[in-house]
Amino acid sequence: MSGIEDVANLAGVSKATVSRALSGRGYVSNDTRLRVSQAAASLGYVVSSSASSLVTGRTNNVGVIIPVINQWFFGSIIEGVERALLDRGYDLMLYNLTKSHEERTRVFEYFLVRKRVDAVIAVTLEITPEETQRLLALGKPIAGIGGPLEGIPTLSIDDVAAGRLATEHLLLLGHRDIMHVGGDIDEQMDFHVHSKRLKGYMEALTEAGIPYDQDSYVATRFDIPSAYQVGKQILGDPRRRPTAIFAASDEVAIGVILAARELGISVPDDLSVIGIDNHPLAEMFGLTSIEQRPDLQGEQVVEWVIRQLEEPGWSPPKRHTVLPATLIMRSSTARPRPRLG
């Protein structure tokens, strides 16, 4: 491993000049810059990031805290974040923080506080105001997907509005018997996504003058098999079967559709289904959905933290940023079948 001194000797200049030539900071004549680059290349020299971090205080790393990886929403965020970071010359340190308390503590006590990252991106990380203070005290740029989170710039779709939009779509088609298959309120790790989408649903119903019925909300985990099971239970009981279902995510919606198929219930003739996400599988199931783009959300928060790092004085929106979520109509929703008799 050759150090900067070797390059300096080979190029016939001082270490300082090598540093300036290679980093592009300060004055260096074109001639020497060239000689230095060639010397560096021929030696296979590459700067020691620890040494340069030590003096600059910058690591060029950004920490990303995320609760799940193997799910479309989260995987897409990572892809977006990674792409954006690499484009800007930063490296991504990944922390898969499941909701167990032990791991949470580890992050706060141990990781975040270490001097290894220049900025932090937190994905649907629900933290207490006290923890927020600790984070802010680090003096490092931080941004989140999810939220709102007091004091930290965050980003997400308006889940209440999305829930309303979905429900209103069904109402507009003429449905009055609409069930909501959503997440378990007690289990949500993300920013009350589950209760927010439920809230939007309830608001839309209320506005339409439809009384909200206890039984019309059923909880499930956010994956296809779980939703499939729940779907079979709901749809298996003819007295309970609604004319439409608002599923809190596309995975849930697909589970429900598969359950309906299994039971010989036609979608959308006998049952309309709408989801949220515009998941890659939505199209093949003809699923009407509300689109969001987690990859772009990832790019956006990267932009926030990096710009903060590189443009002194700049700062991202102080408050929560709401992203548009638009309805994509496909063939899983339709007017309810006219009642017989």
Partner DNA sequence: TCCTCGTCTGCAAACGCTTCCAGAATCTTA
Partner DNA sequence: TAAGATTCTGGAAGCGTTTGCAGACGAGGA
- Distance, in Å, from the CA atom of 158 to the CA atom of 147, rounded to the nearest integer, reads 10
Q: Residue 312's binding partner, choosing from its own copies, DNA, none, with beta-carbon cut-off 5 to 8 A by kind?
A: none
Q: Residue 327's binding partner, choosing from its own copies, DNA, none, with beta-carbon cut-off 5 to 8 A by kind?
A: none
Helix 224-236 × helix 250-262 angle, to 10° = 50
CB of 112 to DNA, least distance (A): 16
CB of 9 to DNA, least distance (A): 10
- Distance, in Å, from the CA atom of 334 to the CA atom of 199, rounded to the nearest integer, reads 23
Cβ(63)–Cβ(141) below 8 Å: no
Q: Point out which residues pair with 63 in neighbouring strands.
A: 93, 120
Choice between 223 and 303, CB closer to its own copies: 223
CB of 195 to its own copies, least distance (A): 26
Q: Which residues bind its own copies (CB under 8 A)?
A: 1, 44, 46-51, 53-54, 59, 61, 69-72, 75-76, 78-79, 82-83, 86, 91-96, 106, 111, 113-116, 223-225, 228, 258, 261, 280-281, 283-284
Cβ(178)–Cβ(207) below 8 Å: no
Choice between 114 and 239, CB closer to DNA: 114
Q: Residue 29's binding partner, choosing from its own copies, DNA, none, with beta-carbon cut-off 5 to 8 A by kind?
A: DNA
Q: Point out which residues pair with 178 in neighbouring strands.
A: 244
Choice between 11 and 282, CB closer to DNA: 11
Q: Residue 27's binding partner, choosing from DNA, its own copies, none, with beta-carbon cut-off 5 to 8 A by kind?
A: DNA
Choice between 36 and 204, CB closer to its own copies: 36
Separation of first and last alpha carbons in the chain: 86
- Distance, in Å, from the CA atom of 250 to the CA atom of 308, rounded to the nearest integer, reads 35
Choice between 59 and 332, CB closer to its own copies: 59
CB of 114 to its own copies, least distance (A): 5
Q: Residue 128's binding partner, choosing from DNA, its own copies, none, with beta-carbon cut-off 5 to 8 A by kind?
A: none
Q: Residue 30's binding partner, choosing from its own copies, DNA, none, with beta-carbon cut-off 5 to 8 A by kind?
A: DNA
Q: Residue 4's binding partner, choosing from its own copies, DNA, none, with beta-carbon cut-off 5 to 8 A by kind?
A: DNA
Q: Which residues bind DNA (CB under 7 A)?
A: 1, 3-5, 12-20, 22-23, 25-32, 45, 47-48, 51-52, 54-56
Choice between 44 and 211, CB closer to DNA: 44
Choice between 56 and 206, CB closer to its own copies: 56
CB of 55 to DNA, least distance (A): 4
